[in-house]
């Protein structure tokens, strides 16, 4: 027969065993929040840079300084790698529990956003070589932008960011 002391010990042991799980779920939420924030920052920079580049072209002022595009693309690529690495660790670390599956979906959507953002930046860079315009690459860029917009809608819908709507401008 169980005595009161044994039941309290078992209960205490169960509570202590749940603390690491609760901490890992909290750190999971924290990591997803960090990814969402970093994605928002990169998206704002990319949108601003692409808008500026397109406006300059409309005004006939193609700039030879492509360093900002290259730098931003590099930062986006590094972020994509970090997100994909996180997903790989989650996948190989065991089955994703039901609480963390929402977080996993957010991170997958962010990964797709980053990859398409990187492709948009790359085609923007490659579309204007030697002062000339490559119409085929710019058409491909439009397709990447559509994919980015779809992926971004998943992030903003799943991210539930206080009702704020984030949009990608399809140029």
C-alpha angle 127-49-155 in degrees, rounded to nearest 5 = 100
Show Cβ contacts of residue 171 under 8 Å, excluding neighbours closer than 6 positions.
50, 51, 54, 142, 145
pLDDT of 135: 76
Q: Which of 63, 46, 76 is nearest to 169 (CA)?
A: 46
Answer for the pair 115, 145: CB distance below 8 angstroms, yes or no.
no
Answer for the pair 90, 96: CB distance below 8 angstroms, yes or no.
yes
Answer for the pair 90, 111: CB distance below 8 angstroms, yes or no.
no
Q: What does the chain come to in residues?
A: 171
Answer for the pair 73, 119: CB distance below 8 angstroms, yes or no.
no
Answer for the pair 39, 110: CB distance below 8 angstroms, yes or no.
yes
Task: Tell me the pLDDT of the chain (171 aa) as tens digits.
Answer: 555 555 555 555 554 454 444 444 446 678 888 999 999 999 999 999 988 888 877 777 766 677 888 899 999 999 999 999 999 988 887 655 544 566 778 899 999 999 999 999 988 888 776 566 777 887 888 899 999 999 898 888 755 544 333 344 433
pTM of the entire predicted model: 0.69
Tokens of 123: 């085609």
């Amino acid at each position: 027969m169980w005595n009161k002391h044994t039941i309290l010990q078992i209960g205490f042991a169960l509570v202590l065993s749940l603390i690491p799980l609760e901490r890992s779920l909290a750190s999971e939420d924290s990591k997803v929040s960090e990814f969402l924030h970093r994605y928002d920052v990169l998206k704002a920079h990319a949108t601003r840079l692409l808008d500026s580049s397109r406006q300059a072209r409309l005004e006939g002022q193609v700039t030879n300084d492509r360093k900002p595009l290259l730098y931003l693309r590099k930062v986006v690529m590094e972020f994509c790698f970090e997100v994909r690495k996180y997903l790989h660790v989650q996948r190989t670390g065991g089955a994703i529990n039901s609480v963390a599956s929402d977080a996993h979906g957010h991170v997958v959507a962010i990964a797709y956003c980053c990859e398409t953002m990187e492709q948009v930046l790359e085609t923007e860079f490659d579309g204007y070589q030697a002062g000339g315009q490559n119409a085929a690459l710019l058409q491909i860029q439009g397709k990447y932008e559509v994919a980015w917009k779809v992926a971004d809608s998943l992030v903003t819908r799943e991210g539930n960011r206080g009702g704020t709507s984030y949009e990608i401008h399809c140029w």
